[in-house]
Structure 1
Amino acid sequence: MTDNAPADPTPATSPASSAPGTGTPYDAVVLAGGAARRLGGADKPGVQVGGRPLLDRVLAACAGAAGTVVVADPRPTARPVRWMREEPPGAGPVAALDAGLRLTNAEFAVVLSADLPFLDEATVLRLLAALRESGADAALLTDADGRDQPLVAAYRTGALRAALDALAAEHDGLTGLPLRRLTAALRLTRVPDALASFDCDTWDDISRARARIREHGHVLNEWITAVKNELGIDLDVDTRVLLDVARDVAHGVARPAAPLTTFLVGYAAAQGKGDAEAIAEAAGKVASLALRWEAEHSGSATAPDAG
């Protein structure tokens, strides 16, 4: 096992934290060491969709994990993770899952492949909630055709370890075993989600993913997320506030003033607390100024010497 820099500050033996909104402590295991044969052997976890590597998109979805293990050779990632490799490398997903699970200690484990461009944190939390409420051993997403997706799933760690140990004893190891052998030994509950379970096995899949995030309903959030990731900003901002300011300035002052003004709003907020509330306060002041500016230009403001 190796760590990337900076190293994951969460030791393997430390208590797990809770996933926000669920009260469910969990660790994450991300499988990213496949051969990507249908992509011609390309570095699939590093393929970019919306300006972000597929692996980083998946890591963002499980950011609430107490600890995250990526089963693959180490590489730079957007957030700290721990690294592990199955033995021998290329032994298949069951062996990789077993290797990653060795570095977890939480009661629940979220297991993900590294090629899920539309997975988000809300879906991870839904899986954990379904697992907790159902009493099953695993909660799996199902795709558009109703097929189980064991690499977009939440598991009870104890049940998963027991199933892996039983398989290893039965087959004298885990090399080359299909995932269906593993899930057949577990009690399952299923969560349908055609979008979040969409994975990128081929270049056509990647093209479809890239096209989808540029659609009108998705492109703004995708772009803002990509920018925050590029700049190292971890801040949830109400984009409607900034869009309203840009609209008011463009309409009441001049169109080129809009992007410059939003930059100044951000700068002013950073000079203060630097949080979403500071941005909203600065935006409110600028919006009021833009309205006064427009009123003066249109002649609707009352003259100082008016009766």
Structure 2
Amino acid sequence: MEENRLPFDAVILAGGRSSRLGGVPKQDLVFHHATLLQRALAASAGAAGTVVVGPRPEFSLPGVILCREEPEFAGPAAAISAGLEALARHCTSASEYTLVLACDMPLVQDAVAVLKEALVPAKGDGVMARSGDGTLQPLAGIYRTTGLKKAAEELASRGTLNNGSVRSLLASLEVQPVTVPAGSTADVDTWDDAAALGIAAGNQDKKPGPAQPQLTWEARS
């Protein structure tokens, strides 16, 4: 995808309870010397505006908007809506498309690259990652911004935005599934998942890797 033809914003979800990880924030887990949040931010490189919906991380990242859904832990649909609202408040204009990413997929950069390529010929309201076995991953997708906003407004008007699923948010959109590289949407829900991906529970060195940009975190609500 040529970014000057199809500019995009990015909403990264990083505010879940991590209940199956004993409350350890997924965004702080380390894979190949970078936190999962840093890897998600790297996957969203080129976004005109980027918002992370979740708690303040322990490292600085400038130009990135930080917000939380209200109430906290109200689910992914509410988090996406909060991210879109934050972008609208702090960016001069909305991009045509919004990349939506959960922060718990360490290899998602490969999926995003394929989604960008598929977006150019795609029709409808965007593209969503699909693994080789047919499993859809709606938290790795690029969606038409106006469609996402309208869907969030409709859920809110029915009182179902809070605690709503991302699938309910996307139900009214025409989204094209795109098969992405094997393993690129593998996520971390449990310590077994972490171990399978080479993320060790006791190896949480939070120093940014050498390729990570030195940015300043800008918290906005």
In the alignment, is residue 26 of structure 1 matched against residue 15 of structure 2? Answer: no
Query: Which letter does structure 2 place at the counterpart of 1:63?
Result: A
Give the structure 2 partner of residue 118 of structure 1: 107
In structure 1, distance between residues paired with 2:176 and 2:4: 18
Q: Which runs of 4+ in 1 moved over 6 A?
A: none
Of 44, 65, 69, which residue of structure 2 is paired with 1:86?
69
Q: Secondary structure at the match of 1:190?
A: strand
Tell whether the 8 Å contact from 1:141 to 1:190 is kept in structure 2 after alignment: yes
Query: How many angstroms does 1:226 deviate by?
Result: 3.4
Which of these two proteins has the greater Rg computed from alpha carbons? Answer: 1
Which ranges of structure 1 fall in alignment gaps of 5 or more residues?
1-18, 212-224, 233-307
Of 79, 95, 114, which residue of structure 2 is paired with 1:106?
95
> Counterparts in 2 of 1:1-307, with a 5 A limit?
23-77=5-59, 79-80=61-62, 81-104=64-87, 105-120=94-109, 123-170=111-158, 172-193=159-180, 194-210=182-198, 226-229=209-212
| Richer in helix (by share) | 1
In structure 1, distance between residues paired with 2:153 and 2:188: 30
Give the structure 2 partner of residue 216 of structure 1: none
In structure 1, distance between residues paired with 2:2 and 2:14: 25
Tell whether the 8 Å contact from 2:38 to 2:212 is kept in structure 1 after alignment: no
CA deviation vs aligned residue, 1:50-102 (integer Å, no higher than 9, x gap) = 12111101111111111110001112446421101101011011000000011
Tell whether the 8 Å contact from 1:137 to 1:186 is kept in structure 2 after alignment: yes
Change (3 A) 1:229 1:134: closer
Give the structure 2 partner of residue 15 of structure 1: none
Which ranges of structure 2 fall in alignment gaps of 5 or more residues?
88-93, 200-207, 215-221
RMSD: 2.1
- TM-score normalised by L of structure 1: 0.60
Tell whether the 8 Å contact from 2:53 to 2:69 is kept in structure 1 after alignment: yes
Change (3 A) 1:53 1:23: same
Q: Secondary structure at the match of 2:7?
A: strand
In structure 1, distance between residues paired with 2:4 and 2:183: 22
Tell whether the 8 Å contact from 2:111 to 2:129 is kept in structure 1 after alignment: no
- TM-score normalised by L of structure 2: 0.82
Q: Percent identity?
A: 39
Change (3 A) 1:83 1:160: same
In structure 1, distance between residues paired with 2:132 and 2:149: 29
CA deviation vs aligned residue, 1:152-185 (integer Å, no higher than 9, x gap) = 0000000111111112212x24111122212221
Tell whether the 8 Å contact from 1:31 to 1:112 is kept in structure 2 after alignment: yes
Q: Secondary structure at the match of 2:210?
A: helix
In structure 1, distance between residues paired with 2:113 and 2:124: 16
